[in-house]
């Protein structure tokens, strides 16, 4: 369900302060400044699509800044993609300046200072995902922020229409479809970045990436099977277990770690359902392929730093669809330790 926050019903003198709070709570801690004079207007509509938060911002001219002080106080690790849909915008990070016209986008990183400047009323669609969702080396992430990427630039011609459509239809997808779409978006953006940095793969590498995406989709369809393993997945795709492991190792992952992560994500989603429709912890564990509730509880605590029941209590106190932000995604170390 979409969350809509707007200054429209706020007294004119309080609007900028209210908007500052809205921006802070929707994204990460930020400072917001706007020209004095006319009453300010701002509205943001937010949907959650798996691990991907999609926010459409419609506002008067403003400047948004994330400083080192704010980063130190709230070290959230997200990559954001700002897709300009109306007006113009400027994204400044890492010494680079991305000037955006409608249909163009830029990436920026919440672990580093950045500034967004909008000289006129604008609309921007912001896609926010965990930093680790884009499986790129640190040096590559540092090279792509603050760079203008347009729909006439290679694979970006495919990505821009997809992002626009997702922003319009995010609320219509079933949760399990949303999870898959979010991962596909992260994979596509990773490929666009690689192309832009001149690291686009050979035809053979592209085929391997396609195979990996197909295998991940297969894993999602078989998560409830306790017998899901390297051997069964490899056999279903007519490759050797060793080849399968190499595909995941190239992404700094393991097959078993990916399976466990996806099972935990599905369990966490089910356990966050409203109390009246929420299944028991043991039933959720069994449904998603865990052999025992005790094993599941240990894995959940290792991944998220809390027990399944503590997660349920947290979601009961936080009805907003953005409440999962308070729980970290499973760490790379956790995934490597699996299987």
Residue 207 is predicted with a pLDDT of: 67
Closest CA relative to residue 231, chosen from 256, 258, 257, 211? 256
Contact 51, 15 (CB under 8 A): no
pLDDT at 289 over 70: yes
Residue 199 is predicted with a pLDDT of: 52
Structure confidence by residue, pLDDT tens digits, 93-115: 999 999 999 999 999 999 999 99
Model's pTM, two decimal places?
A: 0.63
Residue 202 is predicted with a pLDDT of: 43
Per-residue confidence band for 275, with pLDDT thresholds at 50, 70 and 90:
confident
Question: pLDDT averaged over the chain?
Answer: 86
Tell me the mean pLDDT in the region 174-197: 86
Which residues are bridge partners to 42 per DSSP? Answer: 59
Where do you find CATH 1.10.10.60 in the chain?
203-336
Rg (CA), the chain: 21
Structure confidence by residue, pLDDT tens digits, 2-41: 899 999 999 999 999 999 999 999 999 999 999 988 889 9
Tell me the mean pLDDT in the region 216-244: 91
Element (H, E) at 244: helix 241-249
Q: What is the CATH number of domain 203-336?
A: 1.10.10.60
Contact 112, 119 (CB under 8 A): no
Per-residue confidence band for 61, with pLDDT thresholds at 50, 70 and 90:
very high
In whole angstroms, what is the distance from residue 121 CA to residue 99 CA? 15
Instruction: Specify burial of residue 184 (Cβ count, 10 A radius: 0-12, 13-18, 19+).
Output: middle
In whole angstroms, what is the distance from residue 5 CA to residue 18 CA? 10
Residue 36 is predicted with a pLDDT of: 86
What CATH architecture does domain 3-196 belong to? Sandwich (2.60)
Where do you find CATH 2.60.120.10 in the chain?
3-196
* Strand stretches in the chain, DSSP E: 3-6, 31-33, 42-49, 52-59, 62-66, 78-86, 89-93, 96-100, 105-109, 114-118, 122-130
Number of Cβ within a 10 Å radius of residue 123: 17
Q: What are phi and psi of 187, to 5 degrees?
A: -65, -45
Q: In which region does residue 103 sit, left (phi positive, over 0), alpha (psi from -120 to 50) or beta (all else)?
A: left
Instruction: Specify burial of residue 109 (Cβ count, 10 A radius: 0-12, 13-18, 19+).
Output: buried
More confident residue, 153 or 32: 32
More confident residue, 290 or 324: 290
Structure confidence by residue, pLDDT tens digits, 162-179: 999 999 998 888 888 888
């Amino acid at each position: 369900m979409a969350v809509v926050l707007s200054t429209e019903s706020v007294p004119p003198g309080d609007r900028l302060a209210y908007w500052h709070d809205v921006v802070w709570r929707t994204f990460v801690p930020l400072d917001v400044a706007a020209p004095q004079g006319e009453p300010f207007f701002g509205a943001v509509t937010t949907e959650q699509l798996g691990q991907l938060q999609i926010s459409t911002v419609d506002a008067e001219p403003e400047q948004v800044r994330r400083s080192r002080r704010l980063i130190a106080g709230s070290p959230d690790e997200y990559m954001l993609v700002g897709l300009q849909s109306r007006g113009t915008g400027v994204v400044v990070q890492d010494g680079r300046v991305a000037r955006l016209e409608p249909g163009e986008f830029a990436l920026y990183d919440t672990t580093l200072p950045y500034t967004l400047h909008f000289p006129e009323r604008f609309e921007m669609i912001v896609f926010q995902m965990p930093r680790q969702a884009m499986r790129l080396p640190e040096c590559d992430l540092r090279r792509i922020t603050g760079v203008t990427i347009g729909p006439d630039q290679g694979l970006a011609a495919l990505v821009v229409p997809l992002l626009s459509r997702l922003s319009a239809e995010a609320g219509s997808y079933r949760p399990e479809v949303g999870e898959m779409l979010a991962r596909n978006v992260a994979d596509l953006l990773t490929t666009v970045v690689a192309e832009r940095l001149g690291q686009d793969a050979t035809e053979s590498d592209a085929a391997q990436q396609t195979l990996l995406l197909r295998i991940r989709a297969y894993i999602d369809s078989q998560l409830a099977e306790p017998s899901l393993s390297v051997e069964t997945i490899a056999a279903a795709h007519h490759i050797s277990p060793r080849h399968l492991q190499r595909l995941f190792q190239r992404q700094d992952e393991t097959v078993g770690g990916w399976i466990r992560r996806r099972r935990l994500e599905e369990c966490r989603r089910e356990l966050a359902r409203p109390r009246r429709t929420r299944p028991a912890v043991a039933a959720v564990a069994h449904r998603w392929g865990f052999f025992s509730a005790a094993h599941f509880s240990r894995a959940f605590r290792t991944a998220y730093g809390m027990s399944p029941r503590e997660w349920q209590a947290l979601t009961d106190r936080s009805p907003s669809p953005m409440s999962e932000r308070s729980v970290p995604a499973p760490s790379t170390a956790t995934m490597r330790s699996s299987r």
